[in-house]
Amino acid sequence: MNEQQQLIIETLSRLLTDLCTPEVVDRSESGTFAENLWQVLTETGLTAAGIGVEAGGSGGDLEDSLLVIREAARFAAPVPLAEHFIAGLLLSEQGQSIESGPVTIASGKFIISDGLSLSGAADDVAFARWCAQVVLVAQGSDGLKLCRVPASDFDIVQKNSVAGEPRDSISVNTKVAAESAFSVDSQTPERIKLMGAALRALMMSGALESVLEMTVQYSTERSQFGRPISKFQAIQQQLAVLAGEVAACQMASHSVVEAFSTLGELDIAIGKARIGEAVSICTDIAHQVHGAMGYTLEHSLNHRTRRLWSWREEYGNEREWQKLVGRHFSAQGADKLWGSMTAL
């Protein structure tokens, strides 16, 4: 992280401490969008960091926005920063600027006619019910088209993830404005998936860091048998395992950040697989140390752990990405295995 980025993260962290309280996260789960949070993030330019100024963004490096998205996940921020960012990137590639939104991205089955009639549906669309626009890829007669569609054009069936985050089912039958449909190449859906996997990996690593901090903190505050439970070796050993996993995730997340600009498939796959795998170990330990208190809705540990359980499944779970990694290395052959690892 350079100085500029450190400043961004510190600013964001202060802002989220004030505006992204456990109550705000809870309210979002009960159906109220964190409007104020989104507005302040937009005003401070944090929803469009890393997107060129000419495209309606705040400029800066791509890396800035990745760090912002990672940091926001530490606070379980109930806003579609990742989806808005992907949509912004795709639109900026078409020379289009992004609305202050929020804008979400839908991966599903959509067809667009030559006359720009769009129909189709998608599941698990993040925050669709609270978004201004939906960006999606539709099959046209002569290739794929990226479309930007007002969210009000969709029928939205509200559904939630295990984290209580909106993952809506949406369907549409509408006419797209000519200036809102753009021809894109056949790789675009794959690219969206890679971006999504990379961002979920970063979000998980941010949330895991926060889980480690909360768990260590709790262990020093909770006393049993006359002393803080952090003084028990059994607890210390568990926390050491948790710390090891979180450190590995931090390393993997650095590689994901580096791979993002070129969408390096292998590094993103390794990151999503490795960090996803850590989730089961880390949430197990964190909940064990927190005891029954951590199993309540009242304690904000659940804001992190439930998101982790949700995010590890999204944009391909460990199994899917491990298989891709395995296929890559298997194809090199046993005697090239080491060489292909050091070439990464």
Partner 1 sequence: MFQGLKFEPFKLPDEAELIRQEVREFLARELDPGTLPNSDFNAGESAEFSRKLGAQGWIGMTWPKKYGGLGKSFLERYVVTEELLAAGAPVGCHWIADRQSGPLMLKFGTEEQKQRFLPKIVSGDFFFSIGMSEPDSGSDLASIRTSATKTDGGWLLNGSKIWTSYAHTNHYMVTLVRTEPPSENRHAGMSQVVVDLSDKNVTVTGIRNLSGEEDFNQVFFDDVFIPDDMLIGTPGNGWEQVMSELGYERSGPERFLSAFRVIVEFAREIESNPTDEQLVLLGRLASHLVTLRRMSISVAGMLGEGKLPLTEAALIKDLGNSYERMVPEIVRLSVSGDCSRRFVDTLNECILHAPSFTLRGGTREVLKGVIARGLGLR
| DSSP secondary structure string for all residues of 78-94 | -S-HHHHHHHHHHHHHT
Q: Segment contacting partner 1 (CB under 8 A): 32-40, 92-100, 113-121, 244-252? A: 244-252
Q: What separation, in Å, do the N-terminal and C-terminal C-alpha atoms of the chain show? A: 22
Applying the rule CB under 8 A, the residues between 250 and 269 that interact with partner 1 are 250-252, 254-255, 258, 269
Helices (H), the chain: 3-19, 22-29, 35-43, 62-74, 81-93, 188-221, 233-260, 265-294, 301-311, 318-332, 337-342
Contact between 231 and partner 1 (CB under 8 A)?
Answer: yes
Nearby residues of 224 by Cβ (< 8 Å), 6 or more positions away: none
Among 65, 180, 219, 283, binds partner 1 (CB under 8 A): 219
Residue 251: CB atoms within 10 A of its CB come to 13
CB of 335 to partner 1, least distance (A): 8
Beta strand 167-175 with 133-140 is unpaired
| Residue recorded with tokens 């990742």 | 82
Cβ 10 to partner 1, closest distance in Å? 14
Round to whole Å and give the CA distance between 234 and 153.
Answer: 56
Among 19, 121, 162, 324, binds partner 1 (CB under 8 A): 324
Q: Does 338 bind partner 1 (CB under 8 A)?
A: yes
The 278-317 site mask, x for binding partner 1 (CB under 8 A), equals ----------------------------------------
Q: Which of 230, 283, 300, 310 binds partner 1 (CB under 8 A)?
A: 230
Site for partner 1, rule CB under 8 A:
209, 212-213, 216, 219-220, 230-231, 233, 236-237, 239-241, 243-248, 250-252, 254-255, 258, 269-270, 273-274, 277, 318-319, 321-330, 333-335, 337-339, 341-342, 344
